Amino acid sequence: MKSKALYVKLMKRSLVTRQELYKQVWAEPITSLSKKYSVSDYELRKLCKKLLIPLPKSGHWQRIKAGKQVPVPTLPTNETVAQEIDLATVAGAKSSASHTPRELLQLEIERSLGKKLKVPPRLTNPDRLVTAAKADIEARNARYRFTGLITKSFGFLDIKVSKQCLDRTFRLMDTLIKALQARGNRVLASNSQACIHIRKERYEVAIREKQKRSNEIRKGSYSYDYTPTGVLVLKIGPSWNGREWQDGKVPLESRISAVIAYLEWKTQKEEEWRLECQKAEEERREKERILRELQARKEQELHRFKVLLQQAKRWHEAQLLRAYITAVEQQVEDIHSPSPDREEWLAWAAQKADWYDPQVNLPVALLDEVDKDTLAFRKKSLS
């Protein structure tokens, strides 16, 4: 009780000694301690490393929950490092401006979800996907012959771990699924692959256990034996370019917020990329439309000029015809008795000059089907 009262007292102030911080990081997981101090677990770990404070290794809190005795290393004496720290200064040292967007998103997720990110010691009220996967694996009791890994059936969560890691895997996946759902996302299992759906984006999700290969090939075979290592690997995305998180100095249980932050950040980037592509496509189409319209105007302008030039030529040729008709008519007048055929020809020729002249365009029934520019009959459609 005395140590608990001291702990509460320490939480109410930001000034903490090196000895006090050492006791706190061994009293509870650093992920929950960092929230109380309003700093990221990364910043708190970095501070402890700077102060030469030893930290719990991967799996420490799981062994504590299992009732096992775990030795706690002593705090090394070192007068060269600070013995008292103002955590408010540490929290403010890395301002929002120096955080990456993904780090800011992770901090926001940790604040909004809180205890929902904590993996429970026992599986209670699991999500239906976890329940279905658990029932399928237990019913079949299937495993690879030489790897010792449990296999999954189609239509269930993609799980490949040893029997010893099954319970932990179920609790991890259940916490991840429920945390994603709390953020308004979905996790669905199809015939081929379980997927996380964030708005319109879709990400394959799988969890497996790393294996250690034997040094020698099995007798009578060309294969090696593989031994499960207990190290879990969570993979998001397709096999050729997915992103992985695995147990290490920081266990997977403490990285759920980082996984969700990555997914939401990647979704935002994908949406921004699609919007950029859509905008670029719209700009391309608009440029093509402008070019098409400009080309159409150019062709129309050229067509109008050709019509003008052709009409000018026809007008000039019509004037030439009239000059010729006038000369013939003058010759007729010099003859005291012109023939009727000559008079008829002069009238016919004057009519054709008026028909050909673009400024007169006298209709002539027999020449209705003639193209005046080519002076050839227009081709008739067969239909």
Q: Rounded CA gap, 204 and 195, in Å?
A: 4
What digits encode the pLDDT tens for the residues 310-328?
Answer: 999 999 999 999 999 999 8
Q: Which residue has the higher pLDDT, 137 or 361?
A: 361
pLDDT, residue 145, reads 53
**Beta pairing partners, 246:** 233
Is residue 203 a contact partner of residue 196, using CB atoms and an 8 Å limit?
A: yes
What digits encode the pLDDT tens for the residues 126-170?
Answer: 999 888 888 888 777 656 555 677 776 677 888 888 888 888 989
- For residue 3, pLDDT beyond 80: no
C-alpha 211: how far from its chain's center?
32
H or E element that contains 225:
strand 224-236
Provide the percentage of residues in the chain whose pLDDT is more than 90.
33
pLDDT, residue 2, reads 37
Q: How far apart, in Å, are the Cα atoms of 163 and each of 48, 168, 207, 244?
A: 35, 10, 14, 22
Q: Hey, where are the domains in the chain?
A: 2-98, 128-254, 306-377
pLDDT, residue 330, reads 85
What digits encode the pLDDT tens for the residues 265-314?
Answer: 999 999 999 999 999 999 999 999 999 999 999 999 999 999 999 999 99
**Beta pairing partners, 236:** 205, 243
Cα 116-122-128 angle, rounded to 5 deg: 70
**Beta pairing partners, 188:** 195
How many Cα atoms occupy the beta-carbon half-sphere of 168 within 13 Å? 24
Mean pLDDT of 94-99: 54
Residue (of 204, 140, 132, 196) closest to 170 by Cα position: 132
Mean pLDDT of 25-32: 86
- Contacts with 324 (C-beta within 8 Å, 6 or more apart), sequence order: 349
pLDDT, residue 64, reads 85
